[in-house]
Amino acid sequence: MKIIVASKNPVKINTTLDGFKEMFPEQEFEIEGVSVPSGVADQPKTDKETFEGANNRSLTAKQQFPNADFWVGIEGGIEDTGTEMTSFAWIVIQGKNLMGKSRTGTFLLSPKVAELIRSGLELGDADDKIFRMKNSKQQNGAVGILTKDLLTRQSFYEVSVILALIPFKNSDIY
C-alpha cells in the first residue's frame, strides 16, 4: 500500500509509517513525503486553523499524487487564550473512499515560549531560541523538550495517527 505524507519532515513521515504498521501489521507499506501547501499560516493559531491545515494538506496531496492508497496531513498548532498557550496537532488521513481524523493531546507551553510566538516566531523557532537547539521541530519537538523525551514529537503524534485510522480498520461500520 502506498502512503503519501504531505510533508518532508522525517518526524511526520516516520510517525505515519509507525502508526500504519501498528494498525495494519499484516500489510506492507511504501511511504513518501511530499511538499504541499497547508493553505493556512506557517504557525496556525487556532484549533480550526490547525485542522484546516491538516485537511488541506491531505486533500492537496490526494489531488497531486492520485496513485496512492492513503494521503496524510499532519499540522501542529497552538491556541492562545491570552493567559495561557497550548500546543497540539491534527492528523487527517484521506483514503480512496473514507477519511479519518484525530487530534493529539494538548499541553501548556512555557510563558517564555508563548511570548516569542506572540512576537511572531513559530513554535519550533521559539523552542530553538529558548532551549538553544537547532531544528527541534524535525527532532523531538516541544513535547520532547518539555518531557525530557519521555514523549517525543513522533510518539506524541503516533497515537493520533492510529486513532485517525479507526475508520479504515473498521470500514464495514464507517
Residue type, 115: E
- Read off the pLDDT band of 124 (50, 70, 90): confident
**CB 1 within 8 Å of CB 27:** yes
Note the CATH number of domain 2-169.
3.90.950.10
Least confident of 3-7, 38-42, 88-92: 38-42
How many other CB atoms are found less than 10 A from the CB of residue 99? Answer: 17
Q: If DSSP codes are grouped into helix, strand and coil, which group holds residue 83?
A: coil
Q: What is the pLDDT of residues 80-113, one digit of tens each?
A: 998 999 999 999 999 999 999 999 999 999 999 9
Closest CA to 96 of 123, 136, 69: 69
d(CA 37, CA 49): 13
pLDDT exceeds cutoff 70 at 138: no
Q: If DSSP codes are grouped into helix, strand and coil, which group holds residue 158?
A: helix
pLDDT exceeds cutoff 70 at 137: no
d(CA 157, CA 166): 15
What does the DSSP assignment read for 19-36?
A: HHHHH-TT---EEEE---
Q: What is the pLDDT of residues 162-174, one digit of tens each?
A: 999 999 999 999 9
